Structure 1
Amino acid sequence: MSMVQLVAAGAPELPAGYFYRVRPSSMRLLKVELRQQGRFFSSLVEDTYICPGEYPTAEEAVVAACRRVVGWWREKKADAEALEASRAWHGDHDPKGGK
């Protein structure tokens, strides 16, 4: 299944340089990974396991897992951005307004 087909089935569209990897795991589970393509290799960004037997179709299972990993990734990204924005407030805050 191509990325276009996966997105058409309902998986979130990814920015350039990111892709999904779906592969079998142990105990009737599928592992769905969100990966970032590097120059020579890709690196794992987020992953989850899903049991296809709990969904009406395998396609729905994979799409649900894709939504899950993208949701987690976006949450982590938002948390990192909030932490970076808070750096302007780091330091001592003197109640008298002095140095």
Structure 2
Amino acid sequence: MSMADLVSAGAPELPEGWFYRVKRAYPYRLGFKLEIRQQHRIGSELMADAFVLEERHDDMTEAVVRACRCAHRKVQARAEAGAKLAALEMCLGDHDPKGGR
């Protein structure tokens, strides 16, 4: 199954250089995990993951798409938290009531 197949089935599109990976969860009795990964020159980095809950779906494509959406929400939440922290960086330092004297 390609990224295009997942997106056409309802999975969120990912930025350039990012991809979905489905793999067995360890220990193997836990089932399967979906990962969102960012490709680097050497290897890739895990950005977020979610379990594929196959027991809740008759169609396994839908189970994978639901896991894609869950992992994507985690990526979005981290990005929003990062943006808030970056905005707080602007407030670092002393705030002199006399205007900087």
TM-score norm. by structure 2 comes to 0.88
4+ aligned runs moved over 6 Å, structure 1: none
Partner of 2:51: 49
Question: How far apart are 1:3 and its partner, in Å?
Answer: 0.5
SS of the equivalent of 2:34 reads strand
Please tell me whether the aligned partners of residues 53 and 67 of structure 2 are also in contact (alpha carbons under 8 angstroms).
no
| Number of residue equivalences | 99
Question: How far apart are 1:95 and its partner, in Å?
Answer: 2.8
In structure 1, list runs of 5 or more residues that go unmatched.
none
In structure 2, what is the Cα distance between the partners aligned to 1:64 and 1:29? 15
TM-score norm. by structure 1 comes to 0.90
Deviation per CA, 1:64-98: give whole Å up to 9, x if none.
11001111101101111121122111112223334
RMSD value, Cα: 1.4
In structure 2, list runs of 5 or more residues that go unmatched.
none
Identity percentage of aligned residues: 43
Deviation per CA, 1:47-66: give whole Å up to 9, x if none.
11122111121111100110
